[in-house]
Structure 1
Amino acid sequence: MTVGVDGFPESRAAADWAAREAVLREAPLRLVHVEDWPHTPFMPAFGRLENAGPVGAEELRRGADAVLEEMTDDVRRRHPGLPVSARRMPGRAAAVLAVQAADSQMLVLGSRGRGAVEGFLLGSVGIATVGLTATPVVLVRPPREPVPAPAAPVAYRDVMVGVDVREDTDALLGFAFEEAARRGCAVRAVHGWSLPFAFGYAPQLDPGVRQEVADGIAEALSERLSSWRRRYPSVKAEERVLVGAPAVQVLYEAADADLVAVGRRIRRAPVGGHLGHVAHAVLHHATAPVAVIAHD
């Protein structure tokens, strides 16, 4: 497990979430801070937020080392026995994090979401990082209340997965079912749809048109899930075909999920990976951790 950290509360939440995942997977945890000069002029963890100004490279390095040491100690305190390492690396943040993710089960980053100040994630660095790696990337927001150190087994809620039946869903559904099996929880597969504009007034002229389309989508979704149900017989899988804008429907269903999974298409071109509008909306607005899964 690899987690990108920068001293902001969002990355601290990401580190804590990643630590719990590493314990669940019995995997080591790696904390990575990237020196992405000159795009990190100050860091609030270093006491520079009120009077932000130019800071020397050496001072920033000392501050980064202090944050890594503090976060490493905190993770070890909260999760005794978990192997934890930390490293500070120079380079372009997105590229370095993508390289570090290559040998990891998962890359975890902190998310500020929509409307917050420019920072580590969901600006150009975060989107670029998602597009540069085929490793699952999970984006975590800070909880509204502090999360206590685990003292008892966790009761996990659903793993919710947004499914587009027109896309290749094997990698996405495989991730969702594996995570649900690991957690001992259910999978909830959601597809939102609305009639194309070309249909015009067809539902008014023939009420059966809408039902026919809905039935076809439901059948396609059930077919996509069938092989994974056989592969993971212990995982309860629920499918929901909902009428409405896909992004809105997926976000609505994500509200009570423990983990949300969305796909992104791998684009074999210099412009990088393709992040669709549904995945983009979920990354900006979902409060649960969001896993972005690359697929062909």
Structure 2
Amino acid sequence: MGEVAVMKHHVTVGVDGSPESRAAARWAAREAVLRHVPLRLVHAVDWPLDPVFPGLGRQDVDRWADRALTEAAEELRQRHPQLEITTRCLAARPAAALAAEAADAGLLVLGSRGLGGLVGFLVGSVAVSALVATDTPVVMVRVADDAEGPRSASGSEVVVGVDIHESCDRVLAFAFEEAAGRGCALRAVHGWKMPLAYTYVPFFDPDDEKDIGRSVTRMVDDMLLPWRHKFPDVEVRHSVFMGSAGDHLVRASQGAGLVVVGRHSRRSPLGTHLGSVAHAVLHHAAAPVAVVAHA
């Protein structure tokens, strides 16, 4: 019997010629180099429902798409001569095409306009639809995240949000692997709230808050312990706060190289939702954001 070929997980990035997608492509290329995997550039032409420019014919749109992919690929090959780069141009709705392309990828990278200068993301419907339609980790990148240097690839810490009420194995695996690949520290952040019953207690004992805080901290320690053993070279710090996890993660994103958050996989009658923490971080973080579906 011959050897069975094993396909390496590649990094996929959506490209449409915009400054945001070019920033995402450059970030994705650096990530692919860190992972030692190929990079795939994908452009989806939604024809005839949503032509890129009004009045253009199908051939014009196809030529524009091909040029956007070719220019992006040529730029990245000059920056990373050893990186294997492929391109795909698909006739499909962008969100559906990106989600389908992410199925056999290790990571999907999408661009976003920044809000308020260097802070926050403008997350469009295509990005949100693609994000919730795939179980592959998705990273959102802004033009502001495109600076070359240690923050863009390695050196700055990876920040991860942990939830003691969820199975965070996939989220923590991704965060620890990123920190290990970048050779940087990892900071785990957890925000907790007092049980609802305490709202109705007329005389609140501050010692109860301290006891609960210590208990939550031990639970976070227990959650991180097996990953510390698996990645002994990764320096791990953790911050446990009473309050909004989203707010603390946004503050921790200042100066971080990457923020990692989980999202719920379960669906409601209105569709799949990101969850309040992921939503807050995506819209206000000052660093690229990776969203990983809980198991």
Q: TM-score, normalised by structure 2?
A: 0.87
* Structure 1 contact 177–187 (Cα < 8 Å) conserved: yes
Q: Distance in 2 between matches of 1:111 and 1:24?
A: 22
Post-superposition shift, 1:154?
6.0
Task: Tell me the SS of whatever aligns to 2:106.
Answer: coil
- 1:147 is matched with 147
- 1:50 is matched with none
Q: Which moved more, 1:31-40 or 1:79-88?
A: 31-40
Correspondences of 1:217-256 after superposition (within 5 Å): 217-256=216-255
Q: Which moved more, 1:31-40 or 1:265-274?
A: 265-274
The structure-2 alpha-carbon separation of the partners of 1:56 and 1:198, relative to structure 1 and needing over 3 Å to count, comes to farther
Summarize deviations over 1:57-85 as a string: whole Å, max 9, x none. 32222111111111111001111121111
Q: Distance in 2 between matches of 1:272 and 1:18?
A: 28
Q: Distance in 1 between matches of 2:34 and 2:127?
A: 25
Q: TM-score, normalised by structure 1?
A: 0.87
* Structure 2 contact 267–273 (Cα < 8 Å) conserved: no
Summarize deviations over 1:36-73 as a string: whole Å, max 9, x none. 2333543xxxxxxxxxx443332222111111111111
Q: Distance in 1 between matches of 2:203 and 2:159?
A: 33
Task: Tell me the SS of whatever aligns to 1:111.
Answer: strand
Task: Tell me the SS of whatever aligns to 1:223.
Answer: helix
- 2:135 is matched with 134
- 2:92 is matched with 91
Post-superposition shift, 1:196?
4.5
Summarize deviations over 1:206-238 as a string: whole Å, max 9, x none. 111211221121111111001101111111111
Q: Which moved more, 1:199-208 or 1:18-27?
A: 199-208
- Give the superposed CA RMSD: 2.5
Show structure 1 runs of 5+ residues with no match. Answer: 43-52
Summarize deviations over 1:144-173 as a string: whole Å, max 9, x none. 7x634x79x964211100111111111111
- 1:39 is matched with 50
Q: Which amino acid aligns with 1:130?
A: L
Correspondences of 1:243-282 after superposition (within 5 Å): 243-267=242-266, 272-282=271-281
* Structure 1 contact 41–54 (Cα < 8 Å) conserved: no
Q: Distance in 2 between matches of 1:154 and 1:261?
A: 15
* Structure 1 contact 35–91 (Cα < 8 Å) conserved: yes
* Structure 1 contact 101–107 (Cα < 8 Å) conserved: yes
The structure-2 alpha-carbon separation of the partners of 1:270 and 1:16, relative to structure 1 and needing over 3 Å to count, comes to farther
The structure-2 alpha-carbon separation of the partners of 1:201 and 1:267, relative to structure 1 and needing over 3 Å to count, comes to closer
Show structure 2 runs of 5+ residues with no match. Answer: 1-10
List structure 1 segments (4+ residues) > 6 angstroms apart after TM superposition: none
Q: Which moved more, 1:230-239 or 1:107-116?
A: 107-116
Post-superposition shift, 1:270?
7.8
Q: Distance in 2 between matches of 1:263 and 1:33?
A: 27
